Amino acid sequence: MRRLAPYQTGLWLAEYVDIRCQLCRVYRSTAPSQLLSSHLSPDAPPIADSMLTDIYRGKVARYIHRHLSRGLLCAHCHHGITWLPKPFRVDIAAGSALGIQASTFYDYPIRQAIRAFKHDEDMSKLPLLLHAIRQLPRPHGCHHDNAVIVAMPTTPQRLVKRGFDPVSILAVQLSKHWQIPLWQGVRRIDHTVSQQGLTRAERLSNLNNAFVLTETPPVKRLLLFDDVATTGASLQALGRALYKPATNTASASSLPTNRYHLSAYALAHGSQYR
């Protein structure tokens, strides 16, 4: 029997057992289907059962969803954080740009939750971040057979220092939500330093040749994911490495450089107050 990571048990308890909102702790949390319905116009068609079964599979999971699930946030807190930022683009090659879509703005309370999760390993913030990730629009036409999620890789040194990889944990949850597998065919080179506190020019310089492909991507659609896209420099560098696989892997030397369709997603970006 496969063992669950400690944070997975906490997420299960937060979503299916705890009836209080994970943010305000005052109001009852609201089921995801009800939150989704509130975004639809009165003339919109009803939510198809298939949309729910993409997340809750199997008879037991459907029973839990129908009878126990309360969601993670109340409707009031949900509407307070789910202001979807406008997508933005960064150049990855001549005549080619990478579109980046974030799930929410990098404002309170998301900013504080991300910092506590990343730097203090505060897993109590994970339910809030998971709720925000679920607001990302599913990539049109992507499914488990034609697309993979590429999480922003970290270095072994940072992994040892931090003790866990926050982006990978978030990417696993996004993979489960979209039912699209993760792919770990990119390695981050160790000489780069942390991006925090750097200007955009310094970020780009720091990330030159920071990523190397260790294998050929298995599908054409690559969905890049990072936790925070401050300027998009990290996703831009990763996109450049994936856009031209022939320069990184000998096995891909015969592949055209424009073979892959790239799009990028992040948990948070920018501020709605600027």
Walk me through the domains of the chain, giving residue ranges and CATH numbers: 1-81 (no CATH), 83-274 (3.40.50)
**Closest to 253 in 3D by CA, of 213, 219, 209:** 213
DSSP 3-state assignment of 139?
A: coil
pLDDT value for 249: 45
Q: Please give the pLDDT value at position 10.
A: 77
* pLDDT on residue 259: 73
pLDDT of residue 265: 98
For residue 183, give Cα distances in angstroms to 13, 96, 213. 28, 23, 11
**What pLDDT, on a 0 to 100 scale, did the predictor assign at position 155?**
87
Q: Is the peptide bond before 109 cis (omega within 30 degrees of 0)?
A: yes
The sign of the CA dihedral 10, 12, 18, 22 is positive
Per-residue confidence of the chain (274 residues) as pLDDT tens digits? Answer: 455 566 777 787 887 778 889 999 999 998 887 776 544 333 433 333 343 344 344 444 444 444 445 689 999 999 988 889 999 999 998 889 999 999 999 999 999 999 999 999 898 999 999 999 999 999 999 999 999 999 999 988 888 888 889 999 999 999 999 999 999 999 998 665 555 666 656 666 667 778 999 999 999 999 999 999 988 999 999 999 998 654 444 444 444 445 799 999 999 999 988 7
Give the model's pLDDT for residue 38: 47
- Which residue bears the tokens 């307070």? 80
* Angle in degrees, 0-180, between the axes of helices 126-133 and 166-178, rounded to the nearest 10: 40
d(CA 262, CA 99): 8
